[in-house]
Structure 1
């Protein structure tokens, strides 16, 4: 029997109640799904119920549960984007109601899942940029400013390529992707690895569109016989033991160069700690002759014994210690500790300044390789080589899988291949 739909009446103040649309045997309402994402935020969705069976259309926004008013079925005013989100919810609910009325007019009797599929067809002209913007808002709301900066650049490149912000998912086909890859290679002048990262970003947004019913999976442009994302092998160059010694023994450095060397060596001595974690180190993180911190990249806890060489570096900064929880290095002392955005900006600028002075340090030391903060990690891997077991290196790097460690160290473990080559040529 076809679903009987009554006209949608909005109460005063546009409260989003679950009885906004009532059908004799089906209804639609705005709900907050109780399936949080990895950051603990819950998705807003339209619930379509038919004969006590429900299906959900996700609108692409997540909120903390504390901002959800269950009784009114709307986002609380305490949320910074409450008005915008509530207007969006009302609009999507109206679109759903309109399509249900059309189905009733056509005398079509659908299950909740079929109704969802029919409603999704209405979104066939959905814009890639809309979901891309939602993605950016989410990662920014979760204070992932590094990821936000990178993904925003990816979306910007697509806009430059199109010269507009309109791209339907059906137009985002294999031909489009091949043209875009050629644009990145010839016009944007980016590396093959960066091109692969662009494709990963597009694939992420396209997969979200499929999950939300914005496009049918048959239009998916990735996979066998279509676009296959391949990451090229990248050579990681680290300093040798002799080159590190040259850096350590340098004299006649300026104050800025001396500081840059200290930060680089601090990272190197502790198995190549990433710059974001180095600059966030506080004096309170050091106790029992160990340093304890949480990795910014994956939130893993790390505890490392302090080598004697680290104590020598710390002596240069102890006089500037203002409190027990003060930062060891000066870059973040001027940041707002309550603002992740401020910490990210100051870290990014600090890394850029340090790298500029490290290039001068390398020149004075006679090191021809490019010296940067990230090279500290590669240098540790290069010198560790075959001296430390893969399992121990995995612990030092805090890799989740030993396979990751093997892949990383494969750039530096050349001892066996060198011996094999020499044995062949020894005649």
Structure 2
């Protein structure tokens, strides 16, 4: 910017007079002062000190590399994909990609930008993203909560390696809602087991669902089940000894007759040491929903519903202690088991009948 010497006030650092030229010069000076101050604050936050040379370079953009959110997100996803099949799951990678896509859509919609520097992230950005998810994407509370956990993980990467000196999530509050996933009653279990179809693929999915109902194994654990996991134990019975795919916690399950018969039914169809051939979870759930409709079941059938049914109808409602149910499910905390296992009205009635018998006529009310 060129300033005529006759207009410049050295003492005040501004142009003198009220001419149009002087006013334009002072406006430009004010903008420079604001930008220099912003760069100064950024350097203090990131480095803790400022020199004249550093401030000059920052203002001029010399040697300044802007770390951006989406670039970091995409780098993370590329590295994560390389680990899939070894120490990471494809489903988790897909979730990271989905959240990255939502952040990109949010930036375009709300900020009209293709990316954003990490150092511009703040609580307002976080709250704006949540608002976008709820209003534009119609996401429910638990979906928003899951997305925020992913974004918080990406932000934590930047914080841990020094690229982000502050926590934009500081002050942000969000909690998941408690969701009753439901379970199948005894009558509904029987309806599924009695469901007949000429389609062998659909019959297989029905059988695998029933297998999960009577073992409590999640989809990933049934899919990963191998013949090595089937062991005859000290009591002479066949057990499943495995580690849960999700948490790597050990699960020991003595097999009931129904799951044993299902294992035997498909023994000659094994392609390798896996006990069952499992279609993808999405396909299984599509077929299960159709089976549920034909059986007149109000609950939407999903493979994971079987695990809740095992905890509630098959075990806890039959008098099995919740501590044992917890071990069968591979939980490390009984509070987690309580999310799965519900007390049914039938169990309450049986327990009250037993209590009535135990009390007998021990207590009498005076007439």
The answer to whether TM tops 0.5 is yes
> 8 Å contact 1:285–1:292 — kept in the other structure?
yes
Q: Offset at 1:105?
A: 7.8
For 1:264 and 1:231, the matched residues in 2 are separated by: 28
Quick one: which of 277, 285, 295 aligns to 1:355?
285
Does 1:267 find its partner at 2:212?
Answer: yes
Quick one: which of 320, 331, 340 aligns to 1:399?
331
Q: Deviations over 1:315-353 (max 9, x none)?
A: 32122235xx5322233xxxxxxxxxxxxxxxxx62222
Quick one: which of 320, 323, 329 aligns to 1:388?
320
- Residue 158 of structure 2 is matched in structure 1 by 209
Does 1:314 find its partner at 2:258?
Answer: no
For 1:408 and 1:314, the matched residues in 2 are separated by: 25
Alignment of 1:176-325 (within 5 A): 176-217=125-166, 220-223=167-170, 226-271=171-216, 273-288=217-232, 289-322=238-271, 325=272
> 8 Å contact 2:126–2:169 — kept in the other structure?
no
- Residue 326 of structure 1 is matched in structure 2 by 273
Question: Where in structure 2 are there 5+ consecutive unaligned residues?
Answer: 1-46, 55-62, 233-237, 353-367
For 1:124 and 1:233, the matched residues in 2 are separated by: 44
> 8 Å contact 2:196–2:203 — kept in the other structure?
no
TM-score, normalised relative to structure 2: 0.68
Q: Deviations over 1:65-116 (max 9, x none)?
A: xxxxxxxxxxxxxxxxxxxxxxxxxxxxxxxxxx9xx98988xxxxxxxxxx
The structure-2 alpha-carbon separation of the partners of 1:306 and 1:154, relative to structure 1 and needing over 3 Å to count, comes to: same
RMSD, aligned CA: 2.9
Q: Offset at 1:232?
A: 1.4
Question: Where in structure 1 are there 5+ consecutive unaligned residues?
Answer: 1-98, 107-121, 332-348, 423-427
For 1:301 and 1:417, the matched residues in 2 are separated by: 29
Quick one: which of 162, 171, 179 aligns to 2:120?
171
For 2:79 and 2:323, the matched residues in 1 are separated by: 36
Alignment of 1:140-159 (within 5 A): 140-143=81-84, 144=88, 145-159=90-104
> 8 Å contact 2:134–2:144 — kept in the other structure?
yes
The structure-2 alpha-carbon separation of the partners of 1:128 and 1:363, relative to structure 1 and needing over 3 Å to count, comes to: same
- Residue 36 of structure 2 is matched in structure 1 by none
For 1:230 and 1:132, the matched residues in 2 are separated by: 23
The structure-2 alpha-carbon separation of the partners of 1:178 and 1:103, relative to structure 1 and needing over 3 Å to count, comes to: closer
The structure-2 alpha-carbon separation of the partners of 1:407 and 1:303, relative to structure 1 and needing over 3 Å to count, comes to: closer
Q: Deviations over 1:126-185 (max 9, x none)?
A: 212233233323432322222111111111100111135422233322222222112111
- Residue 307 of structure 2 is matched in structure 1 by 377
Q: Give the stretch that moved more between structures: 278-287 or 154-163.
A: 278-287
- Residue 160 of structure 1 is matched in structure 2 by 105
TM-score, normalised relative to structure 1: 0.59
> 8 Å contact 1:359–1:372 — kept in the other structure?
yes
Where 2:253 maps in the other structure, the secondary structure is: strand
> 8 Å contact 1:139–1:147 — kept in the other structure?
no
- Residue 72 of structure 2 is matched in structure 1 by 131
Q: Offset at 1:269?
A: 0.9
Where 2:284 maps in the other structure, the secondary structure is: helix
The structure-2 alpha-carbon separation of the partners of 1:253 and 1:368, relative to structure 1 and needing over 3 Å to count, comes to: farther
Q: Offset at 1:299?
A: 2.2
